[in-house]
Amino acid sequence: MSNAALSDGGRDTVLSVRGAGKFFPGVKALQDVDFDLKRGEIHALLGENGAGKSTLIKVITGVHPRDAGAVMLDGIEIHPQHPGDAQGLGISTVYQEVNLVPTLSVAENLMLERQTRKFGLISWKKTEADAKAALETLGLDIDVNRPLGSYSVAIQQLVAIARAVALDAQVLILDEPTASLDGDEIQTLFRIMRDLRDKGLGIVFVTHFLDQVYAVTDRITVLRNGRLVGTFVTRDLPQIDLINHMLGRELAEVSAHRHQDEGSYAGPKRTIQVKNLGKKRVLEPVSLDLNAGEIVGLAGLLGSGRTELSELIFGSQKADSGLVFLDGEPVMLRSPRHAIRSGFGLCPEDRKQDGIVAEL
Ligand SMILES: Nc1ncnc2c1ncn2[C@@H]1O[C@H](COP(=O)(O)OP(=O)(O)OP(=O)(O)O)[C@@H](O)[C@H]1O
Ligand SMILES: [Mg+2]
């Protein structure tokens, strides 16, 4: 164990990782990573796609056996073999994809595998009361007898957190929990995170939204290419420095790089023009041009019509004004089928709900 791990006598630190390594064929996903989580802090784990954030979490929780290093909980080395082991030790993880059973009721999901038994039988009254109590600690008042799947992703996420916390967690790991939540739902999640932090939990928060990092976290650990860049106090780290740590190069270099990319595109020179595409009460007419080899960002506040514009272009919502031109020719995109035939693809916001047919 290094000196850093011993420096606070381990009293503040609930979870500590030393020299963690994980190798996949051809990929050093994690190399010599140290990480300390204190009791009563929200700690952001940041890095570009593929930096090793999820791998670090999986090494901590026993999804992957580690190839090097040590994980200590309360100063004692642990070797969880699977997430259930880690949960038993007090480390609970909630992923972006809720891992509960949508057809069971909220109460059943909350109490899964630990239903209250009375004379050897499951006591539903007690299960229901326990479930209600667990949600009330998070300030959630919902009907626990309804199927979990009948609630929004946000509520399902919060139920997953309630379940994690009810299992006497000391450490709560949230891997991109906000990806499909709206503004109000994120605020509710943050309120709950702060409450739990104030009760002494250590919370690891993975997100790609830097404004959320500054809104809710106390410290930040940055990974890059599987290696530790550093751990910082959030309020002392300007956002521009954070971005530079994540990218490992100055932003100026990045924009220079981008211009070079545009010039190097060698594919077919196709163009898409959207002209006055709109729909009453949904979207005011919008026009935009898209050239081959180009990525165009649609920015705007929640509810400003970003999703609606993509659905109108793709034909999953019917436009009542405007046209889409492909290489200068108007194309009829009256349904997703037409759009796909013309070579369009749509990756929707909730991919699990709208992007696939899960039963097939
Ligand atoms: N099961 C696996 N088999 C092979 N390679 C993997 C596996 N899991 C992750 N990797 C690789 O390890 C590296 C780190 O991946 P990881 O999923 O930890 O990144 P991440 O920081 O969580 O990224 P993201 O922000 O996209 O979730 C990547 O290069 C990834 O391709
Ligand atoms: Mg990840």
Domain of 301? 271-355
Q: Going by CA atoms, what residue is nearest to atom 6 of ligand 1?
A: 24
Atom 11 of ligand 1, nearest CA residue? 29
What is the pLDDT, as a whole number, of residue 358? 60
Examine the domain organization and report whether 66 and 185 are in the same domain: yes
Residue identifier of the C-alpha nearest atom 5 of ligand 1: 24
Q: Are residues 194 and 82 in the same domain?
A: yes
pLDDT range class, residue 359, cuts 50, 70, 90: low
- Which ligand is located closest to the Cα atom of residue 64? 1
Whether the pLDDT of residue 9 is over 60: the answer is no
Asked if residue 109 belongs to a domain, the reply is no
* Sign of the CA dihedral with 90 first, then 95, 98, and 99 last: negative
Same domain, 163 and 232: yes
**Total of domains in the chain:** 2
Residue 340 belongs to a domain with what CATH number?
Answer: 3.40.50.300
Ligand 1 atom at minimum distance from 55 CA:
18
Question: Is 23 domain-assigned?
Answer: yes
Q: Which residues line ligand 1 (CB under 6 A)?
A: 24, 27, 29, 47, 49-55
Residues sharing a CB contact under 8 Å with residue 168, sequence separation 6 or more, in sequence order: 90
> So what's the pLDDT on residue 42?
98
Q: What percent of the chain has pLDDT over 70?
A: 85
Under DSSP, the state recorded for 38 is E
| Residue 111 covered by a domain | no
Nearest-ligand number for the alpha carbon of 53: 1
What pLDDT shows up at residue 253? 55
**Looking at ligand 1, which residue's alpha carbon is closest to its atom 1?**
24
| Ligand 1 mean position, distance from CA 29 (Å) | 6
CA pair distance 83, 360, nearest whole angstrom: 28
User: CB under 8 Å to 342, separation ≥6 — which residues?
Assistant: 326, 331, 333
User: Among residues 217, 251, 285, which one ends one of the domains?
Assistant: 251
- Which ligand 1 atom sits closest to the C-alpha of 58? 18
Q: Which residues pair with 275 in a beta bridge?
A: 323
Q: 203: which 2 tokens?
A: 């919370």
235 and 286 fall within a common domain: no
